[in-house]
Structure 1
Amino acid sequence: MKVFVDQLGTSHSFAGSPKRIVSLVPSQTELLFDLGLEENIVGITKFCIHPFHLKSTKTVIGGTKQVKIDKIKALQPDIIIANKEENTLEIVSALQEICPVWVTDIITIEDNQQMIRDLGLLFNKRTEAQKWLDKIDFGYRGFQDFIKDKPVRKVAYFIWANPYMVAGGNTFINELLKLNNFENIYDNNPKYEGRYPEIIIQKMRIQGDPDLVLLSSEPFPFKDEHAFELGRHTHHATTVFVDGEMFSWYGTRLAKAFDYFKSLHERLPMT
């Protein structure tokens, strides 16, 4: 038996590499595919849209917050891959009655790299994992060189409307904002605790008055009317629609994010 430890510090013992995988997180499904594990994936969520063809070849077991326990049990998985933020403790506890549940916890880029490293070991895909680790490290170093002379801008990153919600501190999104020289006005804001606080947009000016209002493409489909409404509650902010996958999807998606961030900065107004 080999013992592996997930990012919550939970030990899991396996006689060999787990063969039948259920993935409860879209970005982690993409990672598993990129590690060469497509044939091992038996169940995914309805939000697992990359690569697109998996929706027609794998069993959809519900969403990230509401899973169909009986459907997962029928798949006879050897392991279920979950995430601390995306999946509730109740879901994880219930699924542990079926098989081991591997839980990731991603806040920083190093957390992301550790996840890839861990899954490479767990599924005997060390070579594939190392290729992605090297690719991400190369892109990360290149982007750090690109961003070093860019100005620091205050931002508010919106993820939802009605009610309006933003990315706060202690989130992967916030880490990538900092990487981009974006100062999140809701990072460690004592008036708005929590990772994704609901905010009062009429108070944005006194809460930090951002230079940029970033409207994520997911999970809420922001439209021009939202951009106009939010812009009215700042003194001078530019409202920008951004690709939410690039700011919130961890795993191998990070390798693509650095080029996206460069193109984003190239279309921002000069300060």
Structure 2
Amino acid sequence: MGPRRIVCLTEEPTETLYLLGEEARIVGISGFTVRPPAARRDKPKVSAFTSAKVDRILALEPDIAIGFSDIQADIAQALIKAGVEVWISNHRSVEGILDYIRRLGALVGVAAKADALADSLARGLDEVRDASSRLSRRPTVYFEEWDEPLISGIRWVSELIGIAGGNEALPHRATQSLAKHRIIADPAEVIATAPDIIIGSWCGKRFRPEHVAARTGWEAVPAIRDGELHEVKSPLILQPGPAALTDGVSELRRIIHGWASRHA
């Protein structure tokens, strides 16, 4: 039957378990969870991203705590020392997200349902990829997940940009798993790519296109010259779970295909 009492330290296990119809197993969630809304309404919030209320988690008597990335290593260590089993996934790619869904489903004893969900998500991506292959032009897309300092997009975002019909402006940076290795010290690096589209997804705050347009030396960037500055809300694209492969890629497709239509 798998674990019956699960604490989700990030949003993607929560969203995935709800999609699998296994939400009754969840006894605690991250305070940053917004998907699905029912989880935020119904489940106790016991963690942030880099910190957690260990005593509250222990009081829930979890069978397992599930989180994401080396950034949560301190939380994992504290829970392990307290005797809680912990699974920290560390995937960064589209294929990694699909595999994560399959592994989580197997962990809770619903492997067939998880395989079906992952297969459905993969077919959706194939449909977007096929539609994008027919674009007459592919724009260069600069994706920014933070502004002070400038931080470019992570690998699964870069891959989704490609699936949606764009060319990632800084693909070499996207392969870096940690945000500190995607910091752009010199904005001239972005300017040199001449992005046709700038997409902002500033985690936890509203994207301000007017601030980007006012950056020194950026006035000749095609995206700024043509007013192609767009926002994709961070909950849709910056968590490595189902949202990125559904609503996230749909937003990228809308933006990129819209540009292609205007520049046909």
Q: TM-score, normalised by structure 1?
A: 0.82
Give the aligned partner of residue 270 of structure 1.
263
> Would the aligned equivalents of 1:173 and 1:247 in 2 still touch at CA under 8 Å?
yes
Helix, strand or coil: the match of 2:171? coil
Deviation at 1:24, TM superposition (A): 0.9
Give the aligned partner of residue 199 of structure 1.
184
2:56 and 2:85 map into 1 onto residues whose CA distance is 16
Answer yes or no: is 1:89 the counterpart of 2:73: yes
| Bigger mean CA deviation after superposition, 255-264 or 146-155 | 255-264
Taking only the aligned residue pairs, the percentage that are identical comes to: 24
> Alignment partner for residue 240 of structure 1, among 215, 220, 230?
230
Per-residue CA deviations over 1:223-244 (Å, capped at 9, x if unaligned) read 2432422596143222122233
| Bigger mean CA deviation after superposition, 151-160 or 174-183 | 174-183
1:231 and 1:242 map into 2 onto residues whose CA distance is 24
Give the aligned partner of residue 169 of structure 2.
185
Deviation at 1:41, TM superposition (A): 0.5
Gaps of 5+ in 1: 1-15
Helix, strand or coil: the match of 1:188? helix
Helix, strand or coil: the match of 1:103? strand
Give the aligned partner of residue 160 of structure 2.
176
1:244 and 1:218 map into 2 onto residues whose CA distance is 5
Name whichever structure is richer in helix by fraction: 2
Per-residue CA deviations over 1:12-34 (Å, capped at 9, x if unaligned) read xxxx5111000011122111111
Change (3 A) 1:88 1:63: same
Answer yes or no: is 1:70 the counterpart of 2:55: yes
Answer yes or no: is 1:113 the counterpart of 2:98: yes
1:148 and 1:80 map into 2 onto residues whose CA distance is 41
Give the aligned partner of residue 166 of structure 1.
152
Q: TM-score, normalised by structure 2?
A: 0.83
Helix, strand or coil: the match of 1:88? helix
2:209 and 2:191 map into 1 onto residues whose CA distance is 24
> Would the aligned equivalents of 1:77 and 1:99 in 2 still touch at CA under 8 Å?
yes
Corresponding residue pairs, total: 252
> Alignment partner for residue 250 of structure 1, among 236, 240, 252?
240
Deviation at 1:215, TM superposition (A): 1.0
Per-residue CA deviations over 1:124-179 (Å, capped at 9, x if unaligned) read 122321331221122122112101122332222111223332225xx222221232
Helix, strand or coil: the match of 1:81? strand
> Would the aligned equivalents of 2:101 and 2:118 in 1 still touch at CA under 8 Å?
yes
Helix, strand or coil: the match of 1:44? strand
> Alignment partner for residue 39 of structure 2, among 18, 37, 54?
54
Q: Which amino acid aligns with 1:89?
A: A
1:193 and 1:249 map into 2 onto residues whose CA distance is 16
Q: RMSD over aligned Cα, in angstroms?
A: 2.6
Answer yes or no: is 1:134 the counterpart of 2:106: no
